[in-house]
């Protein structure tokens, strides 16, 4: 069982999607996302299997939550540097977002 201390090891921050494109080489349908987590962390790339619920044009400017302290992971020819958080729903993966606009880099705590 995970403890509260385990949870606190995760650095979960708010970022804003600044660029998105179809990830042609992914095994499952996905997008390449570039997410701005503010001055301290900067822009990081992430592979996200969210194509069933989101169109690329709808993603730009959207705030999301991401784990920024996992090690980078190679996905095909792309380095995924952060894990964007979502919920597996009947219609596909739904992104976790703040319900109000907050500063980029704000930490979940």
Q: What are 82-95's pLDDT values in tens digits?
A: 999 999 999 999 99
Residue indicated by tokens 């299997």: 49
Give pTM, 2 decimals: 0.94
pLDDT tens-digit map of 64-77: 999 999 999 999 99
| C-alpha–C-alpha distance, residues 65 and 46, integer Å | 12
Q: Residue 82 corresponds to which tokens in the numbers above?
A: 């952060």
| C-alpha–C-alpha distance, residues 70 and 82, integer Å | 7
CB-CB contact of 84 with 64 (8 Å): yes
CB-CB contact of 70 with 82 (8 Å): yes
Which pLDDT belongs to residue 93? Answer: 97
Residue indicated by tokens 């494109």: 21
Domain 10-95 has CATH 3.40.50.920: no
DSSP 41: T
Q: How confident is the model at residue 109 (pLDDT cuts 50, 70, 90)?
A: confident
Kindly list the domain boundaries of the chain, sorted by start residue. 10-95
What's the chain's average pLDDT?
Answer: 97
Residue count of the chain, please give it.
109
CB-CB contact of 93 with 86 (8 Å): yes
């Amino acid at each position: 069982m995970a403890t509260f201390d385990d949870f606190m090891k995760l650095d979960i921050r708010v970022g804003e999607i600044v660029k998105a494109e179809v990830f042609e080489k992914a095994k499952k349908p996905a997008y390449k996302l570039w997410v701005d987590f503010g001055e301290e962390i900067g822009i990081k790339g992430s592979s996200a299997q969210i194509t069933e619920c989101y169109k690329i044009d709808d993603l730009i400017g959207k705030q999301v939550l991401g784990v920024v302290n996992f090690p980078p992971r190679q996905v095909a020819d792309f380095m995924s540097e952060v894990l964007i958080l979502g919920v597996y729903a009947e219609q596909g993966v739904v992104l976790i977002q703040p319900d109000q606009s907050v500063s980029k880099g704000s930490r979940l705590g």
